[in-house]
Amino acid sequence: MKTSVEATGKNIEQAIENALFELKAPREDVDIKILTEGGLFKKAKVVVTISDDVVDKYEKREQLKKQEEEPEKPVEVKEEKVEKETKKQEKKAVKEEKKEEKAAEKEEKKLVKEEKAENNRPLAVDFVKGILAAMGKDGEVSEIEDDGVIRIEVDGDDLSELIGYRGETMFALSYLMTTICKRGDKKQVLDVCGYRQKRADSLKALANRMASKVIKSGRYAKLEPMDASERRIIHLALQDNAKVTTMSKGTEPKRYVMIFPTEYKD
Residue 161 burial (CB count, 10 A): 12
Distance CA 251, CA 224 (A): 13
The answer to whether residues 51 and 44 touch, using CB atoms and an 8 Å cutoff, is: no
pLDDT at 263 over 60: yes
E strands present in the chain = 4-9, 30-36, 44-50, 140-146, 149-155, 187-192, 221-222, 244-249, 256-261
- How far apart CA 48 and CA 19 sit, in angstroms, is 6
Instruction: Report the helix count and the strand count for the chain, using DSSP H and E.
Output: 8, 9
Average pLDDT, integer, range 179-202? 86
156-177: average pLDDT: 88
The whole-number average pLDDT for the span 238-247 is 95
**pLDDT of 52 over the 90 cut:** no
Q: Which residue has the higher pLDDT, 103 or 195?
A: 195
Residue 104 has pLDDT above 60, yes or no: yes
Residue 113 has pLDDT above 60, yes or no: no
Question: pTM of the predicted model, to two decimals?
Answer: 0.48
Please report which confidence band the pLDDT of residue 120 belongs to, taking 50, 70 and 90 as the band edges: very low
The pLDDT of residue 204 is above 90: yes
